[in-house]
Chain A
Amino acid sequence: MIGFISKVFAILGKDLTAEIRSREILSGMFIFALLVILIFNFAFELQRGELASLAAGVLWVTFAFAGVLGLNRSFVLEKDRGSLEGLLLSPVDRGAIYLAKMLGNLIFILVTEAILVPLFAFVSNLALPLLPLLPVLLLGSLGFSAVGTVFAAMATSTRTREIMLPILLFPVVVPVVIAAVKATEVVFGGRDLSSVADWLRILIAFDVIFTVVSFLTFEYVISE
């Protein structure tokens, strides 16, 4: 058990160190997210009045797009450089590889959100209710990377790769997107989290179910 956890953190630490040096994934996600928001701004001409209801949707669509970008890179990089093989050759439970990759993807998404949300709130003159927003961001992003990691591992082994991931991922994460958008909307509207308990419950149920199922099935999508 201790060995298992230590291996999870070894892989996670390796991914984070490599990313801190190259910033390949994070910079890509962040610039892409900014562009999405810019385009939304032109498309909707976001006005102050309707902002609170639209902001939640805009933000989560942006996270979803940027997240797909990051998820794809996380396995494409390993696969193209042949390092995934080195990982699979080591006596490591595939579940440990899953957890490390999933946590890494979660961290990348959270970092992007941590920069993007305040920036967005600042630019659009929106009050930022940080404390109630945190659990929503965390639970939503966790669900997204829980299934996203499995699908990304699958997508890199298919012929169409980058196209495959959103086709697989978006229909399945619909509950996460709906629940997270609704909860974020309420938080931006100034009400507290207790009024969105149902949405948080959906998020928690999704996170728990799909972290467990992904953990158990990951060995089937990662090995040959």
Chain B
Amino acid sequence: MAERGNRGVEVLGGLSLLSLAGALAAIFLYAPTERVMGIVQKIFYFHVPSAWLAYLAFFIVFVSSILYLAERARGFSISLLIRLFPPARASLRSWVKARPWDRLALSAAEIGVLFATLVLITGPLWARPVWGIWWTWDARLTTTLILWFIYVAYLVLRANIDDRERRARFSAVLGIIGFLDVPLVHFSVEWWRTTHPGPTVINPAGPSLPPEMLQTLMLSILAFTLLFFYMLLHRLRLERMRDEVEELKTALEVSGTA
């Protein structure tokens, strides 16, 4: 079973490699160079997919956090979430069943922070030649920065709790609160900016994108998304193996002291 899973992962890896190559070719050979901004504009094909994947990743953290708590709650606690799921027999190790959701949340959070970091790096790289400044408190950039802080806090929290079960529980709560905060952060930052309008109104993803650029962007998003899922599956596999090692250690300990 593990082997078949691996083959699926490898196929996905090949696909993302191919589409990345295609996207790169399209970015540098097919898409026209923007007249005003010049070659720098091509960062946009990396910036936008990264932003999309960061949000997708944080959404995955959100959903798997809810599912983790719901799975855990099944059988021994009254929780509103239970009602969303068919009543199940009280499981002996309900948290073992919930465990995959925690692995997914962790994996998605790590990769999400990675892509959010890419957004925060590519943004200033683009802004410097175009706006003349490295950083601006532009609404989108600021929102991404705050999200980056929230999910870095998520990883710091995990690193500071030794007990696996408690770590999963606490981070699930943060995974839920953090994502529900996204729209609030977005609106407050946007309104905050509009009171002091700066050079930030320029919208690189305007609707008047030439078709070649739009096609290239779409291809780039597709390639990055495939890459994202490839990384996610690998990260999940690593975490699952880590869990198995933990369980083997436990088993050894038990038989050793028995």
Contact = CB atoms under 8 A, between A and B. Distances in A.
B188 A179 contact: yes
Interface stretch (A12-20, A64-72, A106-114, A169-177): A169-177
A87 to B, nearest CB: 18
A179 B189 CA distance: 9
Contacts of B174: 154, 168
Interface in B155-208: 156-157, 160-162, 166, 169-170, 172-174, 176-178, 180-181, 184-185, 187-189, 191-192, 195
A180 B177 CA distance: 20
Nearest to B186: A175
A128 interface: no
A150 B177 contact: yes
B133 to A, nearest CB: 22
Interface stretch (A54-62, A116-124, A157-165): A157-165
A157 B174 CA distance: 14
Contacts of A154: 157, 170, 173-174
A210 interface: yes
B184 A209 contact: yes
B149 A217 contact: no
Interface of A: 147, 150, 154, 157-160, 164, 167-168, 170-172, 174-175, 178-179, 182, 198-199, 202, 205-206, 209-210, 213-214, 216-217, 219-221, 224
Nearest to B195: A182
Given A154-B170, A168-B174, A175-B181, A217 B157 contact: no
Given A210-B177, A217-B69, A171 B153 contact: yes
Contacts of A205: 184
B187 A202 contact: yes
B221 interface: no
A99 B169 CA distance: 20
Contacts of B147: 171
B161 A174 contact: no
B257 interface: no
7 contacts: A172-B178, A174-B185, A175-B184, A175-B188, A216-B79, A217-B177, A221-B170
Given A202-B191, A220-B173, 8 more contacts: A158-B161, A168-B157, A170-B149, A171-B149, A178-B192, A199-B191, A213-B180, A214-B177
Given A150-B177, A174-B185, A202-B187, A168 B153 contact: yes
Contacts, number: 87
A172 B156 CA distance: 15
Given A157-B161, A167-B156, A172 B177 contact: yes
Contacts of A198: 191
Contacts of A160: 160
Contact of B188 (A150, A174, A217): A174
Contacts of B77: 219
B185 A175 contact: yes
B150 interface: yes
A202 B147 CA distance: 18
A206 B187 CA distance: 11
Nearest to B165: A224
Given A171-B146, A206-B184, A220 B172 contact: yes
Contacts of A174: 146, 185, 188-189
A164 B173 contact: no
A200 to B, nearest CB: 12
A213 B185 CA distance: 17
A198 B80 CA distance: 32
A160 B162 CA distance: 11
B166 A157 contact: yes
Interface string B123-140: 000000000000000000
Contacts of B149: 170-171
Nearest to A94: B77
A186 B151 CA distance: 32
A217 B153 contact: no
